[in-house]
């Protein structure tokens, strides 16, 4: 009980720091961030992307029993859908503070512009959240809706691909190739979603002290193997991106990305987020252990979090056009304490919502 109270207290502290940061952003403005007219994308945006793609990956997993008819995955359906909701709300927190005001989102939503990927994202996220709430309520009352499951699966594809389209749509960001990230994002989201589900499931089983049936243990081992395979596929694409984008292209086109190849986020993403989980999960004697699954999941999630920061920075650290006048070839970035508080806010909201659900909503229940 004391550990749980301490956990809730830490999450509430993170939320209070986030609310204080929100007040400061609304009253002082973006001067609290390390944003400039060159560094327009920083830690709050990368954290939003991390949460958003993880939620989409969880949606792909929740579609296994509903869309693809893999019935043995129904045992984790309720936890997966609820975790989607918690992660998506964490992403909304970071997005709102990146934009500076909730009214900006409302304005985007109420100002139809079908040619804008930003408008489509606003519409898709609104529909996604409503559908997730409806789907979870159906599962909580003991039933699974195939229609809702299919719609959530389709919207998860649309949001993850549209996000790649949005961030790579301008010629000013040549390193953020829209056609590449439109399929790279869903795949990395699937890897993050699997890691999140395995991590939260393992932590729950450890804290609850429940005996794990052979059937459920085999299922988690299967998920771990799939996570290792997907992480390996992402690693191949990651290396291909490095070869084709960072080495073969001209310095003008990919100078920022070439700089990021030697950066800490890039190497954390590759070694910690891709290589280590792939190796661990492809070794059967490690894959079947709880510590192996937890280590691989944490490693992958930390790597993907760093990778989202590498992604946004690689597109903006090299000033282009008029912005390059009087500036160094590569601009440096260090997040401010307020940007760290925004990320902490998102994580705290997500974890508090999930903790409440784990305690009161019986997420281990299997729908009929």
Per-residue pLDDT, 261: 81
Terminal-to-terminal C-alpha distance of the chain:
32
pLDDT of residue 116: 74
Q: Which residues of 258-280 are buried (b: 16+ CB within 10 A; e: fewer)?
A: bbbbebebbbbbbebbbbbbbeb
Output the pTM of the full model. 0.94
The answer to whether the beta carbons of residues 227 and 105 sit under 8 Å apart is no
Residues 196 and 54: beta-carbon distance below 8 Å: yes
Residue found by looking up tokens 């390996």 in the block:
232
Specify the length of the chain in residues: 368
The DSSP string of 194-258 is: HHHHHHHHHHHHHHHTPPPPHHHHHHHHHHHHHHHHHHHHHHHHHHHHIIIIIISS-HHHHHHHH
pLDDT at 249: 59
Task: Say what the pLDDT of residue 319 is.
Answer: 77
**Domain range list for the chain:** 13-360
* Residue 99: per-residue pLDDT: 84
Q: Residue 300: what pLDDT? A: 98
- What gap in Å lies between CA 85 and CA 132, rounded to an integer? 7
**Which pLDDT score, from 0 to 100, does residue 133 have?**
96
pLDDT of residue 324: 66
**Residue-wise pLDDT tens digits, 310-354:** 888 887 887 776 766 777 778 889 999 999 999 999 999 999 999
Contacts of 166 (CB under 8 A, 6+ apart): 117, 118, 121
d(CA 60, CA 68): 10
- What's the pLDDT at 272? 96
Cα–Cα dist 349/355, whole Å: 10
Cα–Cα distance, 7 to 232 (Å, whole number): 34
Rounded CA-CA distance 116/114 in Å is 5
Residue pLDDT, tens place only, 71-129? 899 999 999 999 999 999 999 999 989 987 666 677 777 777 777 777 888 889 999 99
Q: Tell me which residues of the chain have a pLDDT lower than 50.
A: 171-172
Tokens of 61: 């997993």
Instruction: Out of 3.40.50.300, 3.40.50.2300, 3.30.300.30, 1.20.1630.10, select the CATH number for domain 13-360.
Output: 1.20.1630.10
Please, how many CA atoms are within 13 Å of residue 339, restricted to the half-sphere of its CB?
21
pLDDT value, residue 175 = 61
Q: What is the pLDDT of residue 196?
A: 97
**Coil, helix or strand for 318?**
coil
């Amino acid at each position: 009980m004391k550990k749980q109270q301490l956990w809730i207290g830490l999450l509430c502290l993170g939320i209070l720091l986030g609310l204080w940061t929100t007040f400061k952003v609304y009253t002082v403005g973006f001067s609290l961030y390390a944003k400039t007219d060159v560094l327009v994308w920083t830690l709050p945006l990368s954290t939003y992307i991390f949460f958003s793609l993880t939620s989409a990956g969880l949606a792909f997993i929740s579609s296994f029993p509903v869309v693809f008819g893999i019935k043995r995955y129904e045992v984790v359906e309720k936890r997966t859908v609820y975790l989607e909701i918690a992660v998506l709300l964490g992403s909304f927190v970071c997005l709102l503070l990146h934009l500076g005001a909730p009214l900006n989102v409302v304005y985007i939503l109420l100002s139809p512009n079908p040619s804008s990927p930003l408008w489509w994202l606003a519409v898709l996220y609104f529909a996604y959240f409503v559908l997730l709430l409806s789907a979870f309520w159906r599962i909580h009352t003991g039933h699974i809706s195939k229609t809702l499951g299919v719609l959530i699966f389709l919207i998860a594809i649309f949001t993850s691909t549209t996000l790649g389209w949005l961030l790579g749509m301008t010629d000013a960001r040549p390193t953020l190739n829209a056609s590449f990230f439109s399929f790279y994002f869903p795949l990395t989201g699937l890897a993050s979603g699997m890691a999140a589900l395995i991590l939260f499931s393992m932590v729950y089983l450890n804290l609850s002290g429940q005996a794990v049936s052979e059937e459920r243990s085999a299922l988690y081992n299967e998920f771990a193997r799939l996570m290792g395979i997907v992480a390996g596929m992402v690693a191949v694409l990651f290396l291909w991106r490095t070869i084709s984008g960072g080495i073969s292209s001209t310095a003008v086109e990919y100078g920022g990305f070439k700089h990021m190849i030697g950066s800490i986020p890039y190497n954390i993403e590759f070694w910690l987020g891709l290589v280590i989980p792939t190796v661990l999960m492809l070794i059967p004697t490690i894959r079947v252990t709880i510590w192996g699954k937890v280590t691989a999941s944490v490693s992958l999630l930390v790597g993907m979090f760093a990778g989202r920061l590498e992604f946004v920075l690689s597109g903006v650290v090299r000033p282009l056009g008029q912005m390059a006048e009087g500036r160094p070839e590569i601009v440096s970035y260090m997040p401010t304490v307020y940007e760290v508080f925004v990320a902490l806010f998102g994580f705290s909201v997500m974890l508090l919502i999930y903790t409440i659900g784990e305690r009161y909503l019986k997420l281990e229940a299997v729908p009929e």
